[in-house]
Amino acid sequence: MQASDRFNINSQLEHLQAKYVGTGHADLNRFEWAVNIQRDSFASYIGHYPMLAYFAIAENESIGRERYNFMQKMLLPCGLPPEREDD
Amino acid sequence: MDDEIAKTQEERKRMQQEIASLDSVTYDRDLYGGTDRDAYVTSIPVNDEDDANNDAMNSEVVRKLSYTAPKNVYDNLPRGGADEDNSSGFLKPSNKIIDREDDYRRRRLNRVLSPDRHDAFAAGEKTPDPSVRTYADAMRQQALEREEEETLKAIAKKKKEEEEAAKAEGGSKRRNRWDQSQDGGAAAAAAPAAKKAKATSDWDLPDAAAPGIGRWDATPTPGRVSDATPSAGRRNRWDETPTPGRSADADATPSGGATPGATPAGMAWDATPKGLATPTPKRQRSRWDETPATMGSATPMAGATPAAAYTPGVTPVGAIDVATPTPSAINLRGAITPEQYNLLRWEKDIEERNRPLTDEELDTMFPLEGYKILDPPASYVPIRTPARKLLATPTPMGTPLYQIPEENRGQQFDVPKEAPGGLPFMKPEDYQYFGALLNEDEEEELSPDEQKERKIMKLLLKVKNGTPPQRKTALRQLTDKAREFGAGPLFNRILPLLMQPTLEDQERHLLVKVIDRVLYKLDELVRPYVHKILVVIEPLLIDEDYYARVEGREIISNLSKAAGLATMIAAMRPDIDNIDEYVRNTTARAFSVVASALGIPALLPFLKAVCQSKKSWQARHTGIKIVQQIAILIGCAVLPHLRSLVEIIEHGLNDENQKVRTITALSLAALAEAAAPYGIESFDSVLKPLWKGIRSHRGKVLAAFLKSIGFIIPLMDAIYASYYTKEVMVILIREFQSPDEEMKKIVLKVVKQCVSTEGVEADYIRSDILPEFFRNFWVRRMALDRRNYKQLVETTVEIANKVGVADIVGRIVEDLKDESEPYRRMVMETIEKVVANLGASDIDARLEELLIDGILYAFQEQTSDDANVMLNGFGAVVNSLGQRVKPYLPQICGTIKWRLNNKSAKVRQQAADLISRIAVVMKQCQEEQLMGHLGVVLYEYLGEEYPEVLGSILGALKAIVNVIGMTKMTPPIKDLLPRLTPILKNRHEKVQENCIDLVGRIADRGAEFVPAREWMRICFELLEMLKAHKKGIRRATVNTFGYIAKAIGPQDVLATLLNNLKVQERQNRVCTTVAIAIVAETCSPFTVLPALMNEYRVPELNVQNGVLKSLSFLFEYIGEMGKDYIYAVTPLLEDALMDRDLVHRQTAASAVKHMALGVAGLGCEDALIHLLNYVWPNIFETSPHVINAVMEAIEGMRVALGAAVVLNYCLQGLFHPARKVREVYWKIYNSLYIGAQDALVAAYPTLDDEHNNIYSRPELVMFI
């Protein structure tokens, strides 16, 4: 990257993107990405009422319970992060 | 008859005086490039009237005082910028700040950067080190200065009295001046003695002297090169004459150190340098500090050399005036007016300073024993760089003996030394600050501290003079390392730079920016430097440049957040009753910024205390002024604190000091203005004193009181408003006759405010106000001053809103025929505004006749350039009268026709402009025949040679065509248009704009009247118009292409346009592509696309790119119509997206983007995926425009194809082994994610669980 590129719109774009939770970067590992995916998924389930209702019927739970469960799962959706083998 | 003559004569005399006074007002503006002091002032007295101390010093002296001194020196100063300008043959207007400042603002240069203050927070419980300046010191010093000032005043007064007595005593026997002066001298000499006895405690301050040194090294006051060593030179001339007008400099020198007896045993060089200036000379002075006399002049540099803390400074000079008064000083003892005094003082300063101090003189000054000559301290370093010596000393300070200059082979005399190490170019005036950077040889020998200083200097120089990248990195380094450098070294470098007299706007902006950044980092470490910073930043608050003011506010606000309220108050409190009005004024403004930054409630207790100060009226004055500034600054946000603010200042209305009463009234006005229309209940307590005040006061105070009433009345309920208006109106009507300009303006303003208030009845206004109002204000004289003029027009319009059109217009309509043109213009402007506001339905037949008659007269008689008033007035009246103008139209048209034939271009232009204003009304009056006639007349004048006039004529034709339509137009369109074709060649903007508008209008509405061949000819001319600078012209041209294509079919037009793609000029090609796109849009894309795509086969970059760009615009314009054409253009885009040329791919990508966005949801996914496959490989492009276009194309695809499809493209690279690849893919992923987060949920890849981590999403496989 040239010196002039550092200040143009594209670098700003990346900076802008970085402000959103859930965006990624070149050093993201499998675990971190999976956590984002899981959280997005749960948020999406909760956000779409028909989805919640569908899951509720499938699991024979109340919709509120489902919502609560999803919310809880968002805390540690993939369990504890794996120990880093490298570096 | 005689009476009348006498009256006229008197009138004339008055006018002459008026003009003379106008001259004198504008005098210094002319000199200084038009700084309009008034433009700034938000309340009546800010400068002159409000000046506390220069009652006696009239403005002329101020002017002389300050333009002689600095100018002289500035002229002699080498200026890099100016020289460069001259050499290039152009004289650019100077952008130095000082050149556009007025004298008042220049007083900033008189201020001194005070020494660092004690930071109570950092020190905790510890007693402050005596060497550190504490709040108490600052206050004491302040008190001392005041006392000095008062004593001087008293002396002056006494002398004056004596003189008067003497005069009265014997008219015949004139007293010798010398006697007087001795008397004066004796009196003066006695004064300090008396004072000493009286104020021993002050005099004996143990540590007051110490800061003196700090001050000197801290304050390289470059601004003072002219009066370099101002303080030393001027301070404590007790035996000198009184200085009623001293305010300017008195404040500049904190005189804490000026105590004669302060450090009897201390070594002189470490005692205050100023002490010497006192009548009791220092006994213990060591001789050695006489030698480096150059140092005296080099004061500005004192801070620049690390060792400067030990340099003796400027001392020697001050002593002279004690011992041997110069002739001018002797003169001073005599009877003098303050003006003379100031003039002489300046002269004396210069002479003294140019005078060498010899050993003999020193011998005569000092007693024979009682002191010893000390060796210079080890750390004393003479000036290191001769280059600086040359430049920094415009006035030789009197080196007593010739010294053989130290030889320096590296020295270059005329050429500025090349800055080493990639440093930016240094301007000559920068040497005194940055000169040390020039000799690098000793770099290694420097102590760490010095190295640090040097580093700071380098960075600052880069910020100040460097290229943008240099500046950027330097600024960043300064910010990052701010805490490492420390507040002291940083500010000691930056602040003196800001006091540099030759500073330019840009430089100041950059330096202020440095301060801002550094402030943020240093946070509480700035505390000791708060006052210093304020000294340089406060002047920004009254700068005429809006952005400078904002910048200043921002800094002060950040500063107060960093330092905290307590520190801010401690730093600024002493300045509140500073003797210099300038200091108080800026301090008040700064305080208002602090209040808005830290909240008004925090400041309220302090303000309350200040406003009730018993010690000095200045403190009360400033306190109240702070309230005023707060109101001005934060506007309606004062409302929650309104009551407390009013309570704080209300007692000021009855203050014993007139200035305090004035400012209180003004502050109330500001508060009421800020609070409007709420908050009347908060003003309850001041109503009574205000109303009492307007009965008992006269002059300025009355003006201020009236102003505040004027602002309070609109807040009141209708009943009260009407009552109070009637009360105040008596006074107002009395003051209608006031000769004072300021009073006139205020009275007009108050009348306007009262009249516009709800409860005031029209009848009352008609009977009580109008007669006097018109008698006193509607006179010719009012039209001469711009501000009076505006105010009068506004007020009259406001009155008209209440009493109706007929009353007002009826009174002034006769004056449309007045002999004075400015007056006629004022009448016309008023009529225009009134009629535009209220319509003309009130105007009866008789008045209508008078009005039209008057307007015609005024219109015809106008001679001045400011013609728009008459034109607008005419237009407004005619338009509001509407059909009633019909009987007058022949007459009006006759006038117009006659004037169209006038010799003067201006007159012709006005006549043509008038046609375009009244065309609509003429149509309303069914005067189509008349319009046709005018059309023919205008047509005949199309040969006009003045472009301005020709533009107006075209505009008039356009107006006529617009209202009577293409078919009825005379001359017929088919004759008119061919006449316009050559005019299209005209390069004048006004002509082009009007002509293209007219042609476009004809092409739009009446294309069929003109043969196709003519239109083609016009097409060729239009291509040239695409070069126009004005965007409006280019847009009109492009649209005209569309109309023409619609009229004669796209083929020929398109051929012309496609040919134009071959031209070199980019702007031309871009406009052509837009025109092609518009043609395609107006004539349906299928008529254009084949030819366009065929053109792509031309093996020429510009053409192919033009075609692609047209496609891009085309698909942007046609939106979802694109679905029919997408398959047709896909092969072309395929080719373009695979082209070697970057621009091909870029433009094709943007075409794909528009296409995708247009056809989203219309079932073209197959083609789009196909195109996406061609776009995708371009994601690794690095050129900013290309990558931008590609990313946008992908975004478009996301919209059209859905996020899932694009995600599938993305997945392959998110975890690619090469980092560069991953980065790009994650960027795409992120924009995808931000654009359609929810849609991605269903499309994420299935991840398998690992050890104890759950990555799968079982919910998605549930099935009922």
Considering the entire predicted model, what is its pTM?
A: 0.61
Asked if A58 and B1234 come within 8 Å (Cβ–Cβ), the reply is no
Mean pLDDT, all residues of chain B: 78
Q: Which DSSP category does B133 fall into?
A: B
What is the rounded CA–CA span in Å between residue B1181 and residue B75? Answer: 56
- Contacts of residue B1234 in chain A, CB cutoff 8 Å? 17, 20, 23
pLDDT of residue B73: 42
The closest of B785, B817, B779 to B7, measured between CA atoms, is: B779
Contact between B970 and B936 (Cβ < 8 Å):
yes
How does pLDDT run across B801-825, given as a tens digit for each residue?
Answer: 999 999 999 999 999 999 999 999 9
How does pLDDT run across B1049-1062, given as a tens digit for each residue?
Answer: 899 889 989 998 88
- Chain B closest-CA separation from residue A71 CA (Å): 14
Burial B679-711 (b: 16+ CB within 10 A, else e): bbebbeebeebbeebbeebeebbbbbbbbbbbb
Asked if B1241 and A22 come within 8 Å (Cβ–Cβ), the reply is no
pLDDT of residue B337: 57
Report cis status (omega within 30 of 0) of the bond before B689: no
Comparing CB atoms, the residue among A23, A41, A82 nearest residue B1233 is A23
Q: If DSSP states are collapsed to H, E and C, what string results for B263-325?
A: CCCCCCCCCCHHHHHCCCCCCCCCHHHHCCHHHHHCHHHHCCCHHHHHCCCCCHHHHHHHHCC
Asked if B1251 and A82 come within 8 Å (Cβ–Cβ), the reply is yes
pLDDT of residue B946: 93
Q: If DSSP states are collapsed to H, E and C, what string results for B1116-1136?
A: HHHHHHHHHCHHHHHHHHHHH
pLDDT of residue B585: 94
What is the rounded CA–CA span in Å between residue B1083 and residue B283? Answer: 101
Comparing CB atoms, the residue among A3, A5, A41 nearest residue B1257 is A41
pLDDT of residue A86: 56
* DSSP SS3 for B1213: helix
Q: What is the mean pLDDT of residues B780-800?
A: 92
Q: What is the mean pLDDT of residues B523-544?
A: 91
What is the rounded CA–CA span in Å between residue B877 and residue B853? Answer: 12
Output the CA–CA distances (angstroms, integers) from residue B1161 to B61, B554, B1209, in the order listed: 80, 50, 20
Q: CB contact, 8 Å: B190 with chain A?
A: no
Asked if B1226 and A25 come within 8 Å (Cβ–Cβ), the reply is yes
- Contacts of residue B1264 in chain A, CB cutoff 8 Å? 54, 57-58
- Contacts of residue B1259 in chain A, CB cutoff 8 Å? 41, 45, 55
Q: Which DSSP category does B1245 fall into?
A: P
Rg of chain B, C-alpha, whole Å = 39
Asked if B1252 and A59 come within 8 Å (Cβ–Cβ), the reply is no
User: Quick one: which H or E segment has residue B588?
Assistant: helix B581-598
Length, in residues, of chain A: 87
Comparing CB atoms, the residue among B1222, B1238, B1252 nearest residue A44 is B1238
Q: Is the model more confident about B479 or about B242? A: B479
pLDDT band at B453 (very low <50, low <70, confident <90, very high): confident
Asked if B1230 and A80 come within 8 Å (Cβ–Cβ), the reply is no
pLDDT of residue B328: 41
pLDDT higher than threshold 90 for residue B605: yes
How does pLDDT run across B838-849, given as a tens digit for each residue?
Answer: 998 889 999 999
Asked if A20 and B1234 come within 8 Å (Cβ–Cβ), the reply is yes
Asked if A45 and B1259 come within 8 Å (Cβ–Cβ), the reply is yes
Burial B1006-1036 (b: 16+ CB within 10 A, else e): bbebbeeebbebbbebbbebbebeeeebbeb
pLDDT higher than threshold 80 for residue B241: no
How does pLDDT run across B684-710, given as a tens digit for each residue?
Answer: 999 999 999 999 988 889 999 999 999
Judged by average pLDDT, the poorest of B115-124, B131-140, B189-198, B383-392 is B189-198
* DSSP SS3 for B1253: strand
Contact between B495 and B555 (Cβ < 8 Å):
no
Q: CB contact, 8 Å: B1222 with chain A?
A: yes
Comparing CB atoms, the residue among A23, A33, A41 nearest residue B1241 is A41
Asked if A24 and B1263 come within 8 Å (Cβ–Cβ), the reply is no
pLDDT band at A10 (very low <50, low <70, confident <90, very high): low
- Chain A closest-CA separation from residue B1134 CA (Å): 26
* DSSP SS3 for B504: strand
How does pLDDT run across B59-81, given as a tens digit for each residue?
Answer: 444 344 444 334 444 444 444 44
Output the CA–CA distances (angstroms, integers) from residue B379 to B214, B309, B315, B1246, in the order listed: 16, 9, 19, 76
pLDDT of residue B307: 39
What is the rounded CA–CA span in Å between residue B1096 and residue B1106? Answer: 9
Q: B238: Cβ–Cβ under 8 A, 6 or more apart, which residues?
A: B151, B188, B189, B191, B192, B278, B279
Phi, psi at residue B313, to the nearest 5°? 85, -155
Q: How many CB pairs under 8 A join A and B?
A: 91
- Contacts of residue A47 in chain B, CB cutoff 8 Å? 1238
Matching residue, tokens 């949920």: B1241
Query: Taking CA atoms, what residue in B is nearest to A2?
Result: B1182
Phi-psi region of B89 (alpha: psi -120 to 50; beta: other; left: phi over 0): left
Matching residue, tokens 């509720």: A56
Asked if B1182 and A17 come within 8 Å (Cβ–Cβ), the reply is no
Q: CB contact, 8 Å: B1263 with chain A?
A: yes
pLDDT of residue B1096: 95
How does pLDDT run across B1192-1242, given as a tens digit for each residue?
Answer: 999 999 999 999 999 999 999 999 999 999 999 999 999 999 999 999 999
- Chain A closest-CA separation from residue B547 CA (Å): 25
How does pLDDT run across B336-385, given as a tens digit for each residue?
Answer: 555 666 676 677 677 766 666 677 777 777 777 777 777 778 777 665 54
Asked if B1255 and A78 come within 8 Å (Cβ–Cβ), the reply is yes
pLDDT of residue B1201: 95
Asked if B1231 and A47 come within 8 Å (Cβ–Cβ), the reply is no
pLDDT band at B1175 (very low <50, low <70, confident <90, very high): very high
ipTM for the predicted complex comes to 0.93
What is the rounded CA–CA span in Å between residue B541 and residue B572? Answer: 15
Q: Which DSSP category does B417 fall into?
A: P
List B897's β-bridge partners, or say none: none
What is the rounded CA–CA span in Å between residue B1198 and residue B997? Answer: 42
Residue B406, Cβ density class (10 Å: 0-12 exposed, 13-18 middle, ≥19 buried): exposed
Give B1155-1175 as a DSSP string.
Answer: HHHHHTTSS-HHHHHHHHHHH
The closest of B716, B708, B705 to B679, measured between CA atoms, is: B716
Q: CB contact, 8 Å: B371 with chain A?
A: no
- Contacts of residue A53 in chain B, CB cutoff 8 Å? none
How does pLDDT run across B548-595, given as a tens digit for each residue?
Answer: 999 999 999 999 999 999 999 999 999 998 888 999 999 999 999 999
Matching residue, tokens 């003429």: B922
How does pLDDT run across B982-1003, given as a tens digit for each residue?
Answer: 999 999 999 999 999 999 999 9
Asked if A44 and B1241 come within 8 Å (Cβ–Cβ), the reply is yes
What is the rounded CA–CA span in Å between residue B1131 and residue B1128? Answer: 7
Q: CB contact, 8 Å: B1180 with chain A?
A: no
Report how far apart the first and last C-alpha atoms of chain A are (Å, whole number).
27
Contact between B246 and B578 (Cβ < 8 Å):
no
Asked if A58 and B1253 come within 8 Å (Cβ–Cβ), the reply is no
List B1125's β-bridge partners, or say none: none
Alpha-helical (H) ranges within B77-209 are: 80-87, 97-100, 103-106, 120-123, 135-169, 177-198, 200-203
Q: Number of helices (H) and strands (E), helices first, in chain B? A: 63, 0
The closest of B913, B856, B852 to B882, measured between CA atoms, is: B852
Candidates B1178, B1259, B1260, B1261: best to mutate against A (most CBs of A within 10 A) is B1259
How does pLDDT run across B1112-1121, given as a tens digit for each residue?
Answer: 999 999 988 9
